[in-house]
Structure 1
Amino acid sequence: MASETDSPPEGVGIGEEATPVDLTEQGEATNEIFAQVSQVQTVINHIHGNIGGASFGISGSRPKSRRTSGPVSQHELTEARTCYVRHASYQAAAERLQSSNMVALIGNAGTGRRTAALNLLHDVVGARRDMVVELSPAYTLEKLAAREIRPAHGYLLCDWPRDDLDGSIADFHVREIRRRIRDAGAYLVITGTTTSLPEADQVPWLPPPACDVLRAHQVAPEVADEAAAQITTDHAMSDVVALARQLASGVPLDKALSRLESAGRRDVVTWFDGPRTRGELFEMAAMAFIAGLPESGFEVLLARLESIAGIGLEKTDAISADDPMPSRRLIRVAEGSLLTLSPERRLVFKVEGHRTHVMRELHQRHGMRLWDPVTEWLHECANLRDPSVQAEIARGVAVLASVAGYSYVESIFLTPWARGGGVMRRQATAAMAISWLCLDETTRPEVLRTVTSWTRASAARPKFTATLAWSGELGIRFPLEAARMLWLQIKDSKKPVRHAEIALAHLFTALTEATGNALPMLDWFARQISNDKRIGRAIDPSIRAILSVLSARPDGAGVPTVTAHLRSRSESAAPLAKLWAAVLVKRPHRRDALAALYDAVCAFDERDDDDRNRVRILFAALVEALPAKERPLLAHDLRRYAISRNTDENRMKLLLSLLRIFLSPAVLSLDTIGNRP
């Protein structure tokens, strides 16, 4: 298989010469790369907004919650319990949990393990708020054994990878985990395909019968029986539940089953079973990785793949003008084809789920004669200047991981791209792939460990790739891990780490846009800056990082993220005020902090009562966070800054009235702000 060194130099179009440039020190170009990664995040947000999640493989998950650690919401617990079937595997797991306070559900992805785990924990700890907590799969056995366990809480570890530890050491940590869980009267449920727990704590997990699921949703028995006959092991439990809800809502059986067929393999297998030319197979391989591109762009990239594969080079005779030339564009989307053209003339699969099945058939049926040229071609495509190509390549690599295994994709593509030289387009492609991989529950824990290892690498390029990855879907799934890793890069550096500062700003924006809640991250930063006793230049890296968060904007130009977050979470005023106070008291950074505060305040609508109240809450929080001697100075400086920005009269009156808070804090406090008109 082609290696990383077989691909063309970094940062070039196919056939161009390279001019290697290190972008880690170039702010403008670094911003461009982060913007490219953010574009993929926008697509992922759109997917979640429309269908409540995404699935690469047949057995992928479609979770509605984006965060993969922290307290499980009451909504998610209620959703998990709706029409749930407590079958034989569930009863066995419940008995094990009751007797030993911990159990591992061992089975394949897509079989309902997480939903079962939530039901199990709800049964033993009840519906009390924040009593069920999901732990990060980044926990090792040693760290989990040292973790504080809260009394009577339920803990969930989804898709926890097995620790590669010596048996006696692993047994020691498991005993300590069991002791802590029992002493606290708490419960722990683990899901995975394998586990470090002993066999006595494991329950082989099988999904509930499809017919039982359908009947639990009040589907008529005769319809449930007929529908269940069409469900195979290829279908995830989420597919079965979706079918049950459609049937229960009155959707006709034939129509509901036609939607279910989108997860099937029939059309794809039929296509591959037919006689196929090398050209057709390489065209389908290209589609598996770059579906969704404009037809003309697809053809350019396909021509390069065919060139690498040697297609068209075997014929030595001159080509005559009279030779027949097939209508390839028409043949490509003819009846019986798996492909079609969108109204915008983008080449796509007729059914989105076919992409995964095509990738599976290519991987299972064909070896190095197909995959060596494809791998070399992918390394070239990862270097291209077109972000849309990189985004589709990243998505295709994530699909490949669902059929070939994560370790294959990590070793052949992700890590070589993360370490690659040149102008860092490969690093951007790797980070995009990380975001797509985070949508699959089976690869998410492994991705977390991979990016963590890049963060801790001594080389600059893997670190840079990690910062890109933390700013996207990975950071949304694991916000505190992302905050810690980015903060460590900044705090421990002897010189500015601009890309990590940018990553923090993008992470704040990504969390706000995707979930409306970056409070855990803001609270954590507020604690870090409050406990940091360094003075002078020593604390400058941390101050710059905080300032990047306070100044964050979507795409660098939209409504300040602080404003959007305060609109969705008014309680974030307190930690935001602490962060602003930490920056405002530092004279070299005061003007930038004032600019961020002014922009955030002016982005609110002064005619809207709710917005006016949010601004009051923020200023009241600033009064409490700032030292008393700093308040009049800030009022003076903010007034001067507002005048320098040619603030309109109405806005200026509002600002002046709020500035009086700094001079007379008793006028308004956090205790009374919510009741003030």
Structure 2
Amino acid sequence: MASETDAPVDGVLIGEEATPIDLTEQAEVADASFAQVSQVQTVINHIHGDIGGASFGISGSRTKSRRTSGPVSGHEMAEARTRYERHESYEAAAQQLGRCNMVALIGTAGTGRRTAALNLLHDFVGGRREVVVELSPAYTLEKLATREYRKAHGYLLCDWPKDDVDGSIADFHLREIRRRVRDAGAYLVITATATSLPAGDQILWQPPPARDVLLAYQVAPEIAAEAAAHITPEHAMADVVALARDLAAGAPLDQALGRLESAGRRDVVAWFDAPRSRGELFEMAAMAFTAGLPEASFESLLARLESIAGIGMEKADAVSADDPMPSRRLLRVAEGSLFSLSPGRRLEFKVASHRTHVMRELYQRHGMRLWEPVIEWLHECAALRDNPSAQAEVARGVAILASVSDYSYVDSTFLTPWARGNGVMRSQATAAMAVSWLCLDETTRSEVLRTVSSWTRASAARPKFTATLAWSGELGIRFPLEAVRMLWLQIRNSEKPVRHAEIALARLFAALTEATGNALPMLDWVARQISNDKRIGRAIDPLIRAILSVLSARADGVGIPTVTAHLRTRPDSAVPLAKLWSAVLVKRPHRRDALAALYDAVCAFDERDDDDRDHVRALFAALVEALPAKERPLLAHDLRRYAISRNTDENRLEILLSLLRVFLSPAVLSLDTIGKHP
């Protein structure tokens, strides 16, 4: 990837100077871009809610746990230990961990490295709540060497990308890591495909034999032996476990085997093994990147790809009105085809996993004669003006391409060029959507984290904007603390208002609440930052506006306030939310907007529901303690006037007025009385 110093300066050339792009003046484009990322996030949330296996055909992806750093839940630890089969690689890793307090499991994705790591850490530190902590793959060797490790804690660093540093420097950092981990009586397990750690710290990971996994689930020995014969190296451990569970539940062997990923691949390989015309191959390439679009939209995009590839041009002079025209639509979904047409006339693959297998065959079998036109076409699609659905599918397709090829190729060919794209900013949204899809694959998640972090630190405006879009989606859900830090620093350190970063912070709060029900780490972090910030006046205005955007957030701009939804799922968030509201309410220029957000959040609760009433009481009790004493009567007066100006109904106004007395007489209600009715 090119360095930022090599990048062209974004701007509109005037003579020999360039005027930097002011993204705050492109509010409509920014809003549309965030809306596109949000729509993709809705699809991803649906996948997480309804599918327990691989995501969009990527074998080995982990869909249940969204957060990729922080304490590992007791539920996940228990799941990892269920019928876990210890084998030769595991025993070697346990011996290494016992000797050195750290070990790296080196192997391919989908081979059960994470599950093994959780079992190793449980064996050494036990399964107590929050005693196993997952570290962000953004950690470098240097950062690992400087962090503090807690006594008798286990640390997991999954999918760690190779840290390319000089050998002598790496050795220095490694000695410090070992010393710190050992002195703390802690344990560190790393999983990676390659690592900067020396060979002595590495275990070349091999998954347990498929037959042993099946037997661990109490599958009959003769059935286990027959089923294991159908398992290939391409199958992830998740596939083997799913097969074992099906067989243990009494499913017939042929039915259970039919669900394996390999069945879908056989159909795809058979299609590619047959003689294919250029037209068929380019149609298949178009489907690999745009499956799921309406048939007419697909045909329009396919026509453009065929034009770029020069298909049909050589016979243009020979075409006459009497030439036969084949029924292409019927042929496309005929028997033996990989395509199907939904009742809504959307073109789809007959089996969802076909899309990944098709992409793999296209990449492995065909060179630049196919890919040069496809790449040019994808760049056009990424910048389309009025087809967000096509851009969303292209983003998904590019993420699938990364899973079957090489991430660095996808980054240099698509992601970073789109992030830096010229003209009206549309390719930036496509890049951000691709980032969200890439976060579903354990093989690319850590790589894309580093890519987006580099965009955030760029001096150019366009990659920084793309980064804010990416942080507001799945990347922020996976790495919430990294996301909030990056967005906060961008807002804090910018010399000009950074409206898109403020929007991203609010959307991150909404995304975390909707996807996980828990944005508490983000709220706690922001509350600490604003309480420790010593700037005054207009210098702190950007941060106050950012906090106000969080407190006013609503999913997709509609529905109940996100604050209300979050308080319902996490009542303990009342304290950090009160600190944030207090920080805004004491700023006179922002008080009315803060009052509006508070009023909307409170009125979204059901005053007839006891739990909701307690949530409101908790929030007001926390506000009492967060606000300076001299501000309480002023706030009570202003909130009363605001409620009256909103034509509040009498019943709700009575409740609000009773709560306002809290500010005048804090002893009436404090944190000790939360949950107790007056």
Q: TM-score range by the shorter chain?
A: over 0.9
Report the CA distance between 1:56 and its aligned residue. Answer: 4.7
Output the CA distance in 1 between the equivalents of 2:209 and 2:397.
32
Aligned to 1:427: 428
Distance 1:306 1:122, change over 3 A: same
Aligned to 1:7: none
* Residues 572-595 of structure 1: CA deviation (Å, up to 9, x unaligned): 000000000000000000000000
Aligned to 2:546: 545
| Aligned 8 A contact 2:53 2:238 in 1 | no
**What is the DSSP-based 3-state SS (H/G/I as helix, E as strand, rest coil) of the residue aligned with 1:534?**
coil
Output the CA distance in 1 between the equivalents of 2:447 and 2:376.
25
Output the CA distance in 2 between the equivalents of 1:646 and 1:531.
38
Aligned to 2:52: 52
| Matches for 1:633-672 after TM superposition, within 5 Å | 633-672=634-673
Aligned to 2:16: none
| Aligned 8 A contact 1:235 1:264 in 2 | no
| Aligned 8 A contact 1:262 1:353 in 2 | no
Unmatched tracts of structure 2, length 5 or more: 1-9, 11-19
Aligned to 1:605: 606
Distance 1:57 1:164, change over 3 A: farther
Residue 78 (structure 2) pairs with residue 82 (structure 1): no
Output the CA distance in 1 between the equivalents of 2:43 and 2:316.
46
Report the CA distance between 1:258 and its aligned residue. Answer: 1.1
Task: Name which of structure 1's ranges 633-642 and 213-222 shifts more when overlaid on structure 2.
Answer: 213-222
Aligned to 2:630: 629
Aligned to 1:466: 467
**What is the DSSP-based 3-state SS (H/G/I as helix, E as strand, rest coil) of the residue aligned with 2:84?**
coil
Output the CA distance in 2 between the equivalents of 1:52 and 1:526.
35
| Matches for 1:223-234 after TM superposition, within 5 Å | 223-234=223-234
* Residues 283-318 of structure 1: CA deviation (Å, up to 9, x unaligned): 000000000001111000000000000001011434
**What is the DSSP-based 3-state SS (H/G/I as helix, E as strand, rest coil) of the residue aligned with 2:259?**
helix
Aligned to 1:351: 351
Report the CA distance between 1:142 and its aligned residue. Answer: 0.5
| Aligned 8 A contact 1:263 1:353 in 2 | no
Output the CA distance in 2 between the equivalents of 1:263 and 1:462.
41
Aligned to 2:276: 276
Output the CA distance in 2 between the equivalents of 1:110 and 1:255.
23
Distance 1:263 1:447, change over 3 A: farther
Aligned to 2:96: 96
Report the CA distance between 1:404 and its aligned residue. Answer: 1.5
Unmatched tracts of structure 1, length 5 or more: 1-9, 11-19
Aligned to 1:266: 266
Output the CA distance in 2 between the equivalents of 1:454 and 1:263.
40
Output the CA distance in 2 between the equivalents of 1:25 and 1:196.
45
Aligned to 1:557: 558
Report the CA distance between 1:25 and its aligned residue. Answer: 2.5
Output the CA distance in 2 between the equivalents of 1:588 and 1:22.
25
Residue 362 (structure 2) pairs with residue 362 (structure 1): yes
| Aligned 8 A contact 2:55 2:63 in 1 | no
Report the CA distance between 1:421 and its aligned residue. Answer: 1.3
| Aligned 8 A contact 1:417 1:429 in 2 | yes
Aligned to 2:144: 144
Matched residues, number: 659
Distance 1:631 1:316, change over 3 A: closer
Report the CA distance between 1:192 and its aligned residue. Answer: 0.4
Report the CA distance between 1:263 and its aligned residue. Answer: 6.3
Output the CA distance in 1 between the equivalents of 2:175 and 2:672.
47
Report the CA distance between 1:322 and its aligned residue. Answer: 2.2
Aligned to 1:333: 333
Residue 206 (structure 2) pairs with residue 206 (structure 1): yes
Task: Name which of structure 1's ranges 239-248 and 543-552 shifts more when overlaid on structure 2.
Answer: 239-248
What amino acid does structure 1 have at the position aligned with 2:142?
Answer: E
| Matches for 1:509-548 after TM superposition, within 5 Å | 509-548=510-549
What amino acid does structure 1 have at the position aligned with 2:495?
Answer: K
Output the CA distance in 1 between the equivalents of 2:666 and 2:28.
42
Superposed structure 1 runs of 4+ greater than 2 Å apart: 20-29, 52-60, 261-264, 674-677
**What is the DSSP-based 3-state SS (H/G/I as helix, E as strand, rest coil) of the residue aligned with 1:362?**
helix
Output the CA distance in 1 between the equivalents of 2:213 and 2:44.
29
| Matches for 1:97-496 after TM superposition, within 5 Å | 97-261=97-261, 264-384=264-384, 385-496=386-497
What amino acid does structure 2 have at the position aligned with 1:103?
Answer: V
Distance 1:399 1:508, change over 3 A: same
* Residues 307-363 of structure 1: CA deviation (Å, up to 9, x unaligned): 000001011434222212111111111111111111211100011111111011111
* Residues 222-274 of structure 1: CA deviation (Å, up to 9, x unaligned): 22111111111111111111111111122222211111146642110000000
Identity %: 83
What amino acid does structure 2 have at the position aligned with 1:666?
Answer: A
**What is the DSSP-based 3-state SS (H/G/I as helix, E as strand, rest coil) of the residue aligned with 2:313?**
coil
* Residues 161-209 of structure 1: CA deviation (Å, up to 9, x unaligned): 1111110000000000000000000000000011111111110100111
Aligned to 2:15: none
Task: Give the RMSD, CA atoms, in angstroms.
Answer: 1.4
What amino acid does structure 2 have at the position aligned with 1:546?
Answer: I
Report the CA distance between 1:24 and its aligned residue. Answer: 4.2
**What is the DSSP-based 3-state SS (H/G/I as helix, E as strand, rest coil) of the residue aligned with 1:109?**
coil
Output the CA distance in 2 between the equivalents of 1:603 and 1:301.
44
| Aligned 8 A contact 1:60 1:110 in 2 | yes
Higher relative contact order (CA 8 A, sep 6+): 1
| Aligned 8 A contact 1:21 1:423 in 2 | no
Report the CA distance between 1:386 and its aligned residue. Answer: 1.1
**TM (normalized to structure 2)?**
0.96
| Aligned 8 A contact 2:58 2:441 in 1 | no
